Amino acid sequence: MTAACVTHSVPDAGAKLYAATQTMDEARHVEVYAKYCDKIAMTYPMSPWLKALIDATLKSDRHEKVMIGMNMIVESLALGAFNNMYRTTTCPLLKKLTFNVMRDESRHVSFGHIYLGPVFAKMHKDDREEMAQFAFDAVNVLASAQMQGGSLASRADPGFLMVLDNSGIDRDDFFKGMEEAEADGISQALPPGQIHALDDLMMPAIARVGLITERTRPLYEEAGIPISEDLRVLEAMEGGHPVEDSAAAE
């Protein structure tokens, strides 16, 4: 739906054609994962914060905002989640189809950059501030959801609670354990090869197109959102390769 929204709202003809192919890619991704889930897995409801992000994107009043929401924020989340799933799954079918999906997704992130970078560079300062504010508000939806429970494992997420139930893990016991670990100073650093969608993809993508402005930089700091401008992971993934695993995958 968000890719289709870009297709009909972006004025540039070349961008419109690309967005149409992105819409087709997304339809294929939905189809292949739906088939996979029907075969072997369970389906869970969308996380409330993700729905809030998508709704804000679909309801925004300018095509540039739809593209920030879709191609920079939601795509970064997707690419991060797919990379981590690709790295951890032991199912050869899931690994293979996720590798193919990631190749599409990395192009979608690149498209956002290639199209929006020059658009923002030419934009009036006041309009660029409006874009920067939209990006901050969207990132903040995600960051507050993550900070609420220290991670995306949250009592506020009905889907996550269903995961615990289906795994035979007692909810109270789980969250008590999380609190105890945090109190003991056990860090939530990601295992090797896993990437952090916000720090490794989303913030660098937003910074790269000039949407961290003098005015919004302090907003991120006040919200406790680290501004990472390291482009290494983002650029590696735009090359179409899961991080540090390109040789093995090929």
Nearest distance from residue 233's CB to Fe ion, in Å? 17
For residues 163 and 152, give the distance between their C-alpha atoms in angstroms, rounded to a whole number. Answer: 12
Nearest distance from residue 74's CB to Fe ion, in Å? 8
Of 18 and 49, nearer to Fe ion (C-beta) is 18
Per rule CB under 5 A, is residue 238 in the interface with Fe ion?
no
Of 128 and 200, nearer to Fe ion (C-beta) is 200
Of 105 and 200, nearer to Fe ion (C-beta) is 105
Nearest distance from residue 250's CB to Fe ion, in Å? 22
Of 1 and 181, nearer to Fe ion (C-beta) is 1
Per rule CB under 5 A, is residue 128 in the interface with Fe ion?
no
Enumerate residues 71-110 that contact Fe ion by CB under 5 A. 105, 108
Site size toward Fe ion (CB under 5 A) is 2
Nearest distance from residue 78's CB to Fe ion, in Å? 6
Of 35 and 176, nearer to Fe ion (C-beta) is 35
For residues 199 and 119, give the distance between their C-alpha atoms in angstroms, rounded to a whole number. Answer: 24
Nearest distance from residue 3's CB to Fe ion, in Å? 7
Binding site for Fe ion (CB under 5 A): 105, 108
